[in-house]
């Protein structure tokens, strides 16, 4: 059996070799001839998986090591009898930690406390719900918008987007890209929404570029009303607007979910799904794959201020390490994808043991996802 895997999937060659012959290939574009004798295909979000890629090929299973699935025509796969699995939630923690790093940097730059702000979360799934829990642990007021969940009658208080636009100081988007239907998100942020946004707001997009009309955002950022934007995703990728990159406070190359843990979970989730699909079910504990982190333990004295939290989280991940290189290379062909392919190892907060002498601090840090302990 031949299994094609995207070369940007850590641990894929090692794991899938347990099940067949593995070939690692670039995902953008995927080499067509490699598909001619492939039984299974494991991709990331850069590969469009549809009839034009797979019709007439022997592929019987597609896995995507990603949370988003807008690059996959799952209806066509089902009609062609091809098995499919994604990796829901694999990198949700990484995105949350990206958002926290961004917000605490902006708080320091602009002289505010996150606790004094209201954060509007649009899309309260794997990312949005974890972000909400961590913000609440810090005492930050949140407003949630998730019409599909509201319509399903899920527990929780969900608000219309208009209320968040009017009231939230920070809007952060974590929806799928839905091109149509009752919950369409394509250009959810458009010129009209941006015009209604009061001054001095922060807008974060770490879901899909097309959720925000990038031309309208550039216009808004070029106007007189103060608006701060953080973009991890762009319309289009990889050829983002250089003018827009210049205007955003933080700009990165679609790496919000790129913690080592997040990428490894993506690989193990599709590996487990495929092993099940072929009747050889296997599970892979994440700890069996991951190396020791660069910083494993620190001690922390006293109460937790936001300034201290900023310094602590940046021992693990500081989003500016990803903003600078994008500004350096943006516009040069191939460089956006290179930043993603040769991504410097990044860990999640849970990799850091924090020994505290203050019980409240230890408790808050645990709720934030650190491995905290009281001395």
Ligand X SMILES: NC(=O)c1ccc[n+]([C@@H]2O[C@H](COP(=O)([O-])OP(=O)(O)OC[C@H]3O[C@@H](n4cnc5c(N)ncnc54)[C@H](O)[C@@H]3O)[C@@H](O)[C@H]2O)c1
x/- map, 157-196, ligand X, by CB under 6 A: -----------------xxxxx----x-x-----------
The count of chain residues that interact with ligand DEZ, using the rule CB under 6 A, is 11
Tokens of 344: 């410097």
Which CB, 42 or 231, lies closer to ligand X? 231
Select the residue interacting with ligand X from 62, 65, 96, 145 (CB under 6 A).
Answer: 145
Estimate to the nearest angstrom the gap between the alpha carbon of 92 and the chain centroid: 6
Rounded-to-10 torsion of CA 353, 358, 360, 364: -20
What does each C-alpha distance from 133 to 17, 93, 114 come to in angstroms?
38, 11, 14
| Cβ at position 153, least distance to ligand X in Å | 13
Please tell me whether residue 205 binds ligand DEZ under the rule CB under 6 A: no
Q: Is 237 a catalytic residue?
A: yes
Q: Is the separation of the CB atoms in 59 and 39 below 8 Å?
A: yes
Show the 3-state SS of 117-156. Answer: CEEEEECCCHHHHHHHHHHHHCCCEEEEECHHHHHHCCCC
- Closest to ligand X by CB, 61 or 98: 98
Any contact of residue 126 with ligand X (CB under 6 A)? Answer: yes
Selected catalytic residue, list 28, 71, 130, 208: 208
Nearest alpha-carbon partner for 372 in 99, 313, 346, 364: 364
Q: Is residue 66 within 8 Å of 44, Cβ to Cβ?
A: yes
The interface partner of residue 183, options being ligand DEZ, ligand X, none and the CB cut-off 5 to 8 Å by kind, is ligand X
Query: Considering CB distances under 5 to 8 angstroms, the limit depending on partner class, which of ligand X, ligand DEZ, none binds residue 322?
Result: none
Q: What is the DSSP string of 4-34?
A: EEETTSTTHHHHHTTTSEEEEE-STTPPGGG
213 exposed, middle or buried (CB, 10 Å; 0-12, 13-18, 19+)? buried
CA 107 – CA 100 distance, rounded (Å): 10
Annotated binding-site residue numbers: 45, 66, 146, 175, 232, 257-258
Q: Which residue of the chain is nearest ligand X when measured via CB?
A: 125
Known catalytic membership, residue 254: yes
Q: Of 35, 38, 46, 362, which one interacts with ligand DEZ (CB under 6 A)?
A: 46
Are the C-beta atoms of 300 and 364 separated by less than 8 Å? Answer: no
Q: Is there a catalytic annotation at residue 71?
A: no
Each residue 236-275 as x (binds ligand DEZ by CB under 6 A) or -, in order, gives ------------------x--x------------------
Q: Which of 25, 38, 68, 177 binds ligand DEZ (CB under 6 A)?
A: 68
Q: Look at residue 10 and give the partner it binds from ligand X, ligand DEZ, none, a contact being a CB closer than 5 to 8 Å depending on partner kind.
A: none
CB atoms within 10 A of CB 353: 15
CB of 46 to ligand DEZ, least distance (A): 5
Residue 39: cis peptide before it, omega within 30 degrees of 0: no
Pick one of 11, 42, 61, 66: the residue that binds ligand DEZ (CB under 6 A): 66
The smaller minimum CB distance to ligand X, of residues 232 and 235, is found at 232
Query: Which of ligand DEZ, ligand X, none sits in contact with 8, Cβ below 5 to 8 A by type?
Result: ligand DEZ
Q: In the set 6, 73, 97, 146, which binds ligand X (CB under 6 A)? A: 146
CA distance linking residue 100 with residue 83, whole number of Å: 36
Closest-CA residue to 127 (of 98, 162, 166): 98
- Residues 157, 179: contact at Cβ < 8 Å? no
Site of interaction with ligand X (CB under 6 A):
67-68, 88-89, 91-92, 95, 122-128, 145-149, 174-178, 183, 185, 206-208, 232-233, 254, 256-257
Residues that are catalytic: 208, 237, 254
Site of interaction with ligand DEZ (CB under 6 A):
8, 44-46, 66-68, 91, 254, 257, 340
């Amino acid at each position: 059996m031949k299994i094609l895997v995207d070369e940007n999937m850590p641990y894929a060659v090692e794991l899938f070799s347990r099940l067949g012959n593995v070939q690692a290939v670039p995902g953008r574009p995927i080499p067509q001839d490699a598909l001619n004798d492939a039984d299974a295909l494991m991709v990331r979000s850069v590969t469009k998986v549809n009839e034009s890629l797979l019709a007439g090929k022997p592929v019987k299973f597609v896995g995507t090591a990603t949370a988003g699935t807008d690059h996959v025509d799952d209806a066509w796969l089902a009609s062609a009898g091809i098995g499919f699995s994604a990796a829901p939630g694999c990198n949700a923690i990484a995105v949350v930690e990206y958002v926290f790093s961004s917000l605490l940097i902006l708080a320091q730059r602009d002289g505010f406390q996150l606790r004094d702000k209201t954060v509007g979360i649009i899309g309260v799934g794997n990312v949005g719900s974890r972000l909400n829990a961590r913000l609440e642990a810090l005492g930050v007021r949140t407003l949630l918008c998730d019409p599909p969940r509201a319509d399903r009658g899920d527990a929780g208080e969900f608000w219309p987007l208009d209320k968040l636009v009017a009231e939230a100081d920070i809007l952060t988007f974590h929806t799928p890209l839905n091109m149509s239907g009752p919950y369409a998100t394509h250009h959810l942020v458009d010129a009209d929404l941006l015009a209604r946004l009061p001054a001095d707001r922060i807008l974060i997009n770490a879901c899909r570029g097309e959720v925000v009309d990038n031309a309208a955002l550039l216009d808004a950022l070029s106007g007189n009303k103060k608006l701060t934007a953080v973009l991890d995703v762009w319309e289009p990728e990889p050829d983002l607007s250089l003018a827009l990159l210049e205007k955003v406070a933080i700009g990165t190359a679609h790496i919000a979910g790129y913690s080592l843990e997040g990428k490894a979970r993506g690989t193990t989730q599709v590996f487990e799904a495929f092993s099940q699909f072929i009747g050889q079910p296997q599970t892979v504990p994440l700890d069996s794959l991951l190396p020791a982190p660069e910083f494993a333990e620190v001690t922390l004295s006293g109460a937790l201020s936001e300034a201290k939290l900023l310094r602590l989280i940046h021992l693990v991940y500081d989003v500016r390490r990803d903003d600078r290189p994008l500004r350096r290379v943006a516009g040069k062909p191939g460089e956006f994808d290179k930043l993603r392919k040769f991504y410097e190892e990044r860990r999640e907060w849970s990799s850091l043991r924090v020994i505290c002498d203050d019980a409240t601090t230890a408790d808050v840090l645990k709720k934030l996802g650190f491995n905290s302990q009281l001395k």
